[in-house]
Amino acid sequence: MTGRIRNPWVVVAAYNEAPVVGGVVSGIRRAGYAVVVVDDGSTDRTGDAALLAGAVVVRHPINLGQGAALQTGIDYALEQRADAIVTFDADGQHSPAAIAALLAALDQSGIDFALGSRFLTGATANLPVSRRILLSAAIWFTRASTGLPVTDTHNGLRAMTERGARAISLRQNRMAHASEILHQIAQSRLRVIEVPVNIEYSAYSLGKGQRVTDALTILIDLFARRLYR
């Protein structure tokens, strides 16, 4: 483990990812990290595959959404006295090598959030043009609404210290959590750094990813959330 971080946990939110989640967990375990997989009410054998590969599995009794699953994983990791938490996608598009880079960034004093960015180095492979346009719009919206000068907004690779994790409380159960987390980071006034990460898009991960129509749902969710206490 690096410097001041002694007990990092990796949180993986998974819904019907049985074909790939075992490989993802094995990769993280080989890299030497404790991992909790939140099985978000899957109808396949996602939880069993993750358990066999060496993860702690927390099973939602019903499907709640990725945001809810991540918050459950964060809560669980904090109960295990994690001093750093890394969120990691279950569809195999992230590399376990990125975890060390994110944790190394957190080792700098005063940094509480390290956010993975696909666009800092341009190393991301197979990113389709439509996805690039959608992400550019999301980046513009996030910069305007949070004031954070981020270069990537909907990247599932993030690391946070225990203090950072306690400042986060996701209430957007579905995909709008990615914007919500940035809003909460901005409100917490804790320090953020971006770390270049490589995302490997495959046919499988693209099939699971967001579509243009989802962007509208995310905007409605974010707007509705502001109306009630």
Partner 1 sequence: MIAQLLLTAFLAFVLVYAWSAHRTVPIIGLLASGAALAGLYFVWVPEHATALAAFAGIGRGSDLIVYIWVVISLLIMLNLHLKLRLQLDMITRLARAVAIDRAKESRRDASPPRKRRPVMLGRKAEVGPIQVQAKK
List residues near partner 1 by CB under 8 A: 36, 38, 56-62, 64, 68, 71-72, 75-76, 79, 171, 173, 224-225, 227-229
Closest separation in Å from C-beta 36 to partner 1: 8
User: By C-beta, is 29 or 225 nearer to partner 1?
Assistant: 225
Cβ atoms of 221 and 177 within 8 Å: the answer is no
**H or E element, residue 1:** none
User: By C-beta, is 69 or 105 nearer to partner 1?
Assistant: 69
User: By C-beta, is 39 or 112 nearer to partner 1?
Assistant: 39
**Strands ordered across the beta sheet of 191-196:** 56-59, 34-39, 8-14, 84-89, 158-161, 111-117, 191-196
Q: Rounded distance, CA 153 to CA 36, Å?
A: 23
Closest separation in Å from C-beta 31 to partner 1: 22
User: By C-beta, is 173 or 205 nearer to partner 1?
Assistant: 173
Closest separation in Å from C-beta 223 to partner 1: 11
For 25, the token pair is 């967990």
Which residues pair with residue 158 across a beta bridge? 87, 115
CA dihedral 125, 24, 135, 15 (to 10 degrees): 140
Closest separation in Å from C-beta 163 to partner 1: 21
Closest separation in Å from C-beta 22 to partner 1: 18
User: By C-beta, is 191 or 225 nearer to partner 1?
Assistant: 225
